[in-house]
Structure 1
Amino acid sequence: MSADRLRDASMLDLFRLELDTQAQIISNGLLALERAPSADLLEACMRAAHSIKGAARIVGLQAGVDVVHVMEDCLVAAQQGQLELGPQRIDQLLRGVDLLLRIGATAPDQDAWQTGPGREQINAFLHGLQRSLSEPDAAQTVAPTTMDGASNTGDSRPIGGDRMLRVTAAHLNRLLSLSGESLVESHRLASFNAALLRLKRLQHNTAHSLSLLQQTLQDSAPEAARLDVLRTLRQQFAQSQDMLAQQLAELESFERRHSSLSQRLYDQALACRMRPFTDRVRGYARTVRDLGRALGKQVRLDISGEATQVDRDILEQLDAPLVHLLRNALDHGIELPQQRLAAGKSEAGTIRLSARHNAGLLQIDVSDDGNGIDLEQLRRAIIQRGLVDQATAARLSDAELLNFLLLPGFSMRATVTEISGRGVGLDVVHNMLKQMRGTIQIFNQPGHGMHFQLQLPLTLSVVRCLLVEIGGEPYALPLASVNRTLALEQEQIALLEGRQHFSFENRQIGLVSSCQILQKSEAAAADRSIPVVLIGSHAQTYGLRVDRLLGEHMLVLQALDPRLGKIKDVAAAAVMENGAPVLILDVEDMLRSVEELIAHGQLDRVQHHSQPGSQPPQPGKRILVVDDSLTVRELERKLLSNRGYAVRVAVDGMDGWNALRSEQFDLVMTDVDMPRMDGIELVTLIKNSPQLKAIPVMIVSYKDRPEDRQRGLDAGADYYLAKASFHDDTLLQAVLDLIGEAQT
């Protein structure tokens, strides 16, 4: 392994990101295993450990490889039933996760882990865990009963993977009653239709009477005959008017009843998805008490609004933001007992957590009776970090000052503790709320505490969207992800470093084509101005060129068939008011697609007017890289892109299989152990497909035993490369042997 790769800051950052993710999977799995042993949880822990070991070997962190290897031995023994994962062994494995995170945090300086105290820590851990493999665990796990599990989660997930939700009999009875009302209302349409048929016959008779009147006038019939026909015509016309007025009134009444019934039916169906707020917060009181004791503080948590009904999807995502706010209140807000007594307060502090419905929104309040925040100290911290100059800082209001607490990396702590000081707490809260289309407000009373007010939609199943036309078809963009809409003139677009930009609020914003992202043909603009939608955050904002803006609409989300997998750049579907289907775009996924196009140098220019005769550039040979390790994917992508190949990445076998069915590739490179579909399954599918079997397939895996290699080749792989002996030249030479040099 070259020293240059180890010093590659971007690769190390990717490794740390992957390490954090996979370490969290192992930690969560181990804690769940302590409560209820499960083969699926063991498999998830094993897969996460494999990914960490492979990524650590790629970036040259041998200390990390050593730690993960012995953890794998313990997990394999548990899988084979040779030992039981009791509390002591789980404690040792969790210490191993902590050790891995410390090793990753100090990369690339690994000398401390090869000799001295660092190596002693590793050796002590290895010796302790290896010894536990042969010794019985003093305490055994106790699995909770099914009743306890159900009461804790409020739902269950059967083996088939379908989502299930507990619904009360009362909810089902009301839903059935409303469905019956809807059926009765639909039968009213039959009588309404019969009345319209009578009106149609009356109009036909009226038309016949008009013909008779015309004939009598032409034949110079007696005046009495003409008057008689005219009298009949007037009667029929009056009857038509009366019947039409009655049917219009009936139609209006039906529309009102149907709208009311539809709303009640939707509200009742939505109520079936609701769960009480207490389902998420029932364990918080113990958490606050234990953490307060660890900090030497006496703290009590008061929870109100426990019966407030919250949408299941929102409730599941609320845990992390609320825990961050509670930890901040404990560490930053609540004072030590002696400080509280000196300030004339009670010795024990109080944190209040409440939930309620307010103005059609879910409002959650987290407050404490601590010391609040010193606004002048906050103002000085903002200036010291260079966020604003002194003159600007002096003009900031209290609310504007407090909003700086939500910035990434901002912390009032000079030192980092286990609980706070890293500046990620409120940033995480803010980002999570944005993902749920929510907002946060901060209120402060110096010396008396802080108050955080969260407002979220009552449900994530209804979303207000901006409808746009792309490639002649309507698409929806969630309004929460739309920053602004613009109309750009051709002269406002400039080229910077070969890419199109335009100026907006003293910033240069990159211009990208929505048609290229969605792989659709781009139509020439009908007007001189180009409709543009601004998406993304402050650090990553792009202008999305669309064909037309169609206005705002409230749409009810419809989940896509799970058999489709994750469709690139698409979040969900909906049905518009006219009954036409529309796809709701995944803006975060689109931003990743833009970054991928930029990284590969494939971002097209937005054409204002059609340019007949222009030829698109010919791409090089295309390679699909399939690996669930972010570190490995990025390394292989860089190596291949630098040699001129066009590289597309997939996060697992299922993602790779979807890509193969929609795009053309000259080579597939895949790992073996991956979630959803492993590499052997993917190779087998490719080689059994008449359309794809000619594509060369290379397996790149950490498994280097002869039987593993033979298994991959038997499945149809054309080349097998072990990550343990991974070198840049080895990989590139294998690619050259299979498909030759990249073509430009």
Structure 2
Amino acid sequence: MTPEQMRDASLLELFSLEAEAQTQVLSAGLMALERNPAQPDQLEACMRAAHSLKGAARIVGIDAGVSVAHVMEDCLVAAQEGRLLLRAEHIDVLLQGTDLLMRIATPGDQDGEASVPAFLAQMAAVLDPAAPVVAPPAPLPVVAEPTPPVSTPGSLGEPEPELESGSVRKLGKRGGEGGERVLRVTADRLNSLLDLSSKSLVETQRLKPYLATLQRLKRMHGQGMRALDGLKTQLEDSGQGPEVLEALAQTQQLLAETQQILLQQAADLDEFGWQASQRAQLLYDTALACRMRPFADVLAGQSRMVRDLGRSLDKPVRLIVEGEKTQVDRDVLEKLEAPLTHLLRNAVDHGIELPERRLLAGKPSEGTVRLRASHQAGLLILELSDDGAGIDLERLRQSIVERALSPAETVAQMSEAELLTFLFLPGFSLRDTVTEVSGRGVGLDAVQHMVRELRGSIELTQVAGQGCCFHLEVPLTLSVVRSLVVEVGGEAYAFPLAHIERTVEVPADAIVQIEGRQHFWHDERHVGLVAASQLLNRPTPQGDEQSLRVVVIREREQLYGVAVERLIGERVLVVMPLDPRLGKVQDISSGALLDDGSVVLIIDVEDLLRSVDKLLSTGRLERIERGSRSGKGAVRKRVLVVDDSLTVRELQRKLLGNRGYDVAVAVDGMDGWNALRSDDFDLLITDIDMPRMDGIELVTLVRRDQRLQSLPVMVVSYKDREEDRRRGLDAGADYYLAKASFHDDALLDAVVELIGGAQG
């Protein structure tokens, strides 16, 4: 809040701000005192915070706040003077008082004051050594701010914390590092500032071609001056009159003056361009830094939540955080809060054992949950581990078989990593009964979904009897991405560096064919090779280069080489979201501007790899040829087979392929329609009954398209009724063949009848 806002704010608003800051001090201090009740610095900090809140509440006339803060202060003073030894029961009551103070200070919360008498009664019992300590009810859900539970489909109604991507934290928290003044700025304004600063940085780069033109003009001007000097010598030798020589001298003087002006202007523009680019870069860096916040901002209340949940389950648990000052984009922090809360609750509920079991296993009675944050190659690396019991793999196998997710024989042969992936399936749980706290596994599909929305990944590992570890990798910022810019089909595309294993130049003779697919040897393994031009529907490059420039990309365990035309270089790109009216653009996540102002599309690597798998499964992956373009041989005719039955599809592909036709396949009508629009074929063979788009719809679209309306179409169907034949022919098919009666020769004869032999 700015000084002006401070002057204009009401006393109640100021009290609310102070309560927010002081209750944070109280929560942190009380949890530290629970582990070591005799820490004088923590006792002093908590006592001063309660005293400050008492005075502030008295000034604004909130008697309930005065009463609560006063008894808390008395309790802390008694602990300071040694008259009271703080135990976990006392900490419970004091933390409840901390929550109550925050509720009293929150405008519009009418229930806070109603809870004061019960709290004062509990505090009276605490302060009277002769009276038994009254066990408080469950802590008030104010500090940890948990989300309401929802039922995951398939989880048999078991409640779990709701994971919402739009989770918004409260703004304007005090406690700036080093006493810095904190201003409230909306996210939209920050986004606009970053957008404008990135555009200004791009605009300053446009000065470079102007400066280059001036340098060229200087050279041309100098050539003109030298040409005039030569002309003067020739005129003097030819005996021209003084009038001609005087006119030439005036011209030379004028050019000399313009040369000085040109030199000065070029120098000034050079200086201005340098200064402008420096300031634009500083502006951009500063705007970007405004979006970055320490990772600790997402942890507000998490230590308290872990402690309170452990108390409710009779499990003493401590959260240890490392790397809390790691800087992360504020949008990433907001979207990390819900999944981290869920993982922490699971760690306490299903990871940490009861104290008796821990002691029997040789562990300390207090469980430990450790959260480590660090930077690595433009990524935020989070490791959330516990020292609990780990996952019972045998029980996991039984659960997989019981849910009919996989046959028992297959499950018995699965590795540990393969078994753990089942925990990320929707509704999967190892819980036998419904409890108030979600068990490990329930909701992990939602956690994985949110992490993937951040263009990140999550991996689970465990050691039986020693605990589990979740390894998360997400970008530090969603606003900027470090990328490798490449050229495909004459256009620029960017691969995020986080997904790039390396770039290599592969000689043409190093490409091998394995099971009909192209591979090359990399890092002691064969890596599948695909053409970026085919994936992105760009023109196939023409040439006879003897090597390929390949970007090796990795997504978890998948590794592929993507052949591109040219490597432009590494760039830090400001992400510009695509217009939402476009929907999800296949294989593309967003756009950006290069230094020269040209547009570059940023690759969605996960989507791209799905496209690769689809091409592999349908047999449509094209070969990449380099250094062997001989131009010999006739062009083979191309046939597109569209059928949702793998058996029929492959049968037709082999029959036609053996006869010499170039065959591509599609798994349904929609897939076939996309293939027809992006490539040229001589014949379409389609089934009728298919998901997403049936054969009749496909034939109708073909006949309506100006480019495809003359394409020969054959309908092959299991149905052999006259009305079905009429439907296909009425839609525009040229030939109808029933699957039940057709044989190899019938299909091949029909194809020859429609388009002739395989060679064109």
TM-score by length of 2: 0.49
TM-score by length of 1: 0.49
- Larger CA Rg, structure 1 vs 2: 2
